[in-house]
Amino acid sequence: MSASPDLLLPPLLGVEGRVRLPGSKSISNRVLLLAALSEGETRIENCLASDDTARMMEALTALGINCRTLPAQADAPPAIVITGCGGVLPVRQADLFLGNAGTAFRPLTAVLALAGGHYHLHGTARMHERPIGDLLDALRSLGAQIGCTGNEGYPPLTIAPHQDNGATQVRVRGTVSSQFVSALLIALPLLRRPITLALEGETISRPYIDLTIALARRFGLAIEARADNTFFLPGTHGYRSPGVLHVEGDASSASYFLAAGAIGGGEVRVDGVGADSIQGDVRFAEALANMGARIEVHPHHILARPPENARLRAFDLDLNHIPDAAMTLAVAALFADGPCRLRNIASWRVKETDRLAAMSTELRKLGAQVQEEADALTITPPARLRAAAIDTYDDHRMAMCFSLATLGGVDITIRDPACVNKTFPEYFTAFAAISRPVPVIAIDGPAASGKGTVAAAVAQALGYTHLDSGALYRLVALAAQRQQIAPEDEETLARIARDLPARFAQGRVWLENDDVTDAIRAETISQLASQISAHARVRSALFQRQRDFRTAPGLVAEGRDMGSVIFPDATHKFFLTASVEARAQRRTRQAQAMGFHANIDSLRREIAARDAQDAARAHAPLKHWPDAQLIDTTEMDIDTAVQTVLRAIQAASV
Ligand code: DC
């Protein structure tokens, strides 16, 4: 599968707002299957629509179950309606592709192993690397006929009708995944006899087992959890539809927004989970409170705010009970006041990717020190985060939790962002809705339009940083001239641009230890800058350097592609222009003020020629961005132009 295009997330001043969560993945996939196995019709509201639930619905449909998606109606929300099969699947032979959906693969394996048909279950390459042997052992002890077509203990699986041996006891190891236990609890009622499931070893992620039991109860089946780590299934009847079932919001998905609220800015309210939730991951809120965040848990919503006048506190926690939300905590650790330790998270190794390795690699890119052990991570936050491009390993949670690093005031690029489709297709839209990006005011215009002076004055008036991007191209031109590099030598020029030892301080421009403020304004450098800035590789070499200027409280970015390529999401965009005549006169006056002779006719010709050259080139031609406000400064002095821009900014923010 090809990766989706990179997503550039801007640095944030903070977050604030309200989020309505999509339905819980864990509940949705359990409920879809339970409804399919039940007697009667079930209407499921707020069911998650994502890759993982799509795989489950496709599989159920292939097994002969009638699943219908109903749009919203005047008196009812959208829903999925499933006609249950009463424990007898209509289709006895099927080939099922289940993607990388663990919540589909494990319970369907158990159900189909006891369903009496011939089935082939397979998934993505990663799914074939995720162990399932403990579940197969338990099912085989009941007489299930399951073969592994690749490696023993791993998918793909071939299933033949089981040869029931009448066992009333089954043992399972829950040390690798609690889903093995949940899968058996869902499937065992198909045997229609009393049976006891006994857990061996320390079972991980216990809250997910409790979730399965709670949902089975909604479908009329009382599973008795006993103190000796056994579960008793009475076996008198199978599942019965509860009629209508509302899926609560996804507590793991809530973790990103709650952490965002805890890290910075204003209050974040998350609707759809709360004290009444049956998902274990709501306890993530406790972990944030333990870091000093101000958290309020209400029955159906949670509020998160940062600590009052303090940083988040470092932590050392056993996170076995919330393995998914714990990933969010690993990124929150970047904002803590000291090293943080996440313990008992060995299950991370067999998830969508080896999450211990992936998390360590990516946190280090941001400047953190990370110590990785077999089942733990120790994360020492850096003094300042670094901008980074984050690889996501086809793991939705990697993509979602690293978006929080933007709260460190840095640019984050998320590679293959569409991997969030697994559980939360709208994640980045929801995150953007609560984000307050560092504002950028982009200003461009032709030579002598006044853009440089206006940009500097606007930056000063607002207390923002000023980026004169033309100066960067001029610096490359000067460095190239000094090193006698030909203007056509794109590769060498791109290298110079990448390693440019440029500094901007107190209105002066430095190349290494040389103050070159005036040197870069020479006419030969203007000409050379215009030539070399046409090279695509020179432009991309300067890309991140320019984006790094976007720091709180804001940036005024001046130059050709500021409002299009570098900061397409700029808060305000202006295009300054003036007639050729007015610009030639300005240049003449400037030259005369500096004691030079100036010929207005030749300046007029030069300006017109430069306009034509800049407008005609292939990369970043001079043009009025379609979403920029046009300001004609022909009849304005500088003060008027500055006031016009400031007024436009003010008008837009009220
Ligand atoms: O704005 P200026 O005259 O200082 O810019 C110098 C040259 O660099 C000019 O030819 C336009 C070019 N430039 C560019 O291609 N992209 C930018 N973002 C800024 C300037």
Tens-place pLDDT, residues 87-133:
999 999 999 999 999 999 999 999 999 999 999 999 999 999 999 99
Percentage of the chain beyond pLDDT 90 is: 87
**Which ligand 1 atom minimizes the distance to the CA of 473?**
8
Distance 584 CA to ligand 1 centre (A): 18
Residue nearest to atom 2 of ligand 1 (CA): 470
User: Residue 142: its pLDDT value, please?
Assistant: 98
Measured from the CA of 562, which atom of ligand 1 is nearest? 18
Please tell me the distance between residue 8's alpha carbon and the centre of ligand 1 in angstroms.
Answer: 23
- Rounded distance from Cα 469 to ligand 1 centre (Å): 7
* CA separation for the pair 8, 387 (Å, rounded): 11
CA of 496 to the centre of ligand 1 (A): 16
Q: Tell me the mean pLDDT in the region 417-426.
A: 97
Please give the full DSSP string across 420-456, using - where no structure is assigned.
Answer: GGGT-TTHHHHHHHHEEEPPEEEEE-STTSSHHHHHH
Q: Whose CA is nearest to atom 11 of ligand 1?
A: 530
Give the domains, in start order, of the chain with CATH numbers: 7-21+248-437 (3.65.10.10), 25-246 (3.65.10.10), 438-464+553-654 (3.40.50.300), 470-551 (3.40.50.300)
Beta strands across the sheet bearing 340-343? 316-318, 340-343, 377-380, 369-372
Q: Best mutation site among 443, 472, 473 for ligand 1, i.e. most ligand atoms within 8 A of its Cβ?
A: 473
Closest ligand 1 atom to residue 444 Cα is 1
Task: Give, for ligand 1, the residue of 560, 586, 617 to mutate: max count of ligand atoms closer than 8 Å to Cβ.
Answer: 560
Q: Which of 51, 52, 250, 324 is catalytic?
A: 324
Q: How far is the CA of 553 from the centre of ligand 1 (A)?
A: 25
Task: Tell me which of 440, 533, 537 to substitute to probe ligand 1's pocket, judged by most ligand atoms within 8 Å of the beta carbon.
Answer: 533
Convert the pLDDT of each residue in 625-648 to its tens digit.
888 999 999 999 999 999 999 999
Res 539 pLDDT > 80? yes
Residue nearest to atom 8 of ligand 1 (CA): 470
Q: What's the pLDDT score for residue 302?
A: 98
> Cβ(352) to ligand 1 under 6 A?
no
pLDDT at 2: 74
- Please give, one letter per residue, the 3-state secondary structure of 297-328: ECCCEEEEECCCCCCECCCEEECCCCCCHHHH
pLDDT at 518 over 60: yes
- What is the model's pLDDT at position 654? 65
Residue nearest to atom 6 of ligand 1 (CA): 470
Taking a C-beta distance cutoff of 8 angstroms, is the pair 282, 240 a contact?
no
Q: Whose CA is nearest to atom 15 of ligand 1?
A: 533
Query: Which amino acid residue places its CA nearest to atom 3 of ligand 1?
Result: 470
How large a percentage of the chain has pLDDT more than 70? 100
| Choice among 156-160, 375-379, 452-456, 595-599 with the minimum mean pLDDT | 595-599
Is the beta carbon of 534 within 6 A of some atom in ligand 1? no
DSSP state of 595: T
582 has a pLDDT exceeding 90: yes
Sequence-distant (≥ 6) Cβ neighbours of residue 583 within 8 angstroms: 446, 447, 448, 449, 607
Cα separation values, 354 from 98, 180, 374, Å: 20, 19, 11
564 lines ligand 1 (CB under 6 A): no
Q: Is the CB of 450 under 6 A from ligand 1?
A: no
Atom of ligand 1 nearest to the CA of 452: 1
Ligand 1 pocket, residue 559 CB under 6 Å: yes
> To the nearest whole number, what is the mean pLDDT of the chain?
95
Ligand 1 near 355 CB (within 6 A): no
- For residue 1, pLDDT over 80 is answered with no
Q: How far apart are CA 346 and CA 211, in angstroms?
A: 21
- Is residue 51 flagged as an active site residue? no
**How would you label 517-539 residue by residue, b for 16+ Cβ within 10 Å and e otherwise?**
eebbeeeebbebbbbbbbbeebb
- What is the model's pLDDT at position 75? 85
C-alpha span between 120 and 602 (Å, rounded): 80
pLDDT at 514: 95
List, for residues 302-341, the tens digit of each pLDDT value. 999 999 988 999 999 999 999 999 999 999 999 999 999 9
Tell me the mean pLDDT in the region 20-45: 97
**204's tokens:** 């991980």
pLDDT at 577: 92
Flag whether pLDDT at 217 surpasses 60: yes
- Take atom 1 of ligand 1 and give the residue whose Cα is closest: 470
Dihedrals phi, psi of 460, to nearest 5 degrees: -65, -45
Q: What is the pLDDT of residue 108?
A: 98
Q: What atom of ligand 1 comes closest to residue 619's alpha carbon? A: 15
- The stretch 175-190 carries a mean pLDDT of 96
Question: Residues 284-303: what's their mean pLDDT?
Answer: 97
Mutate to test the pocket of ligand 1, among 454, 469, 474 (most ligand atoms within 8 A of CB): 469
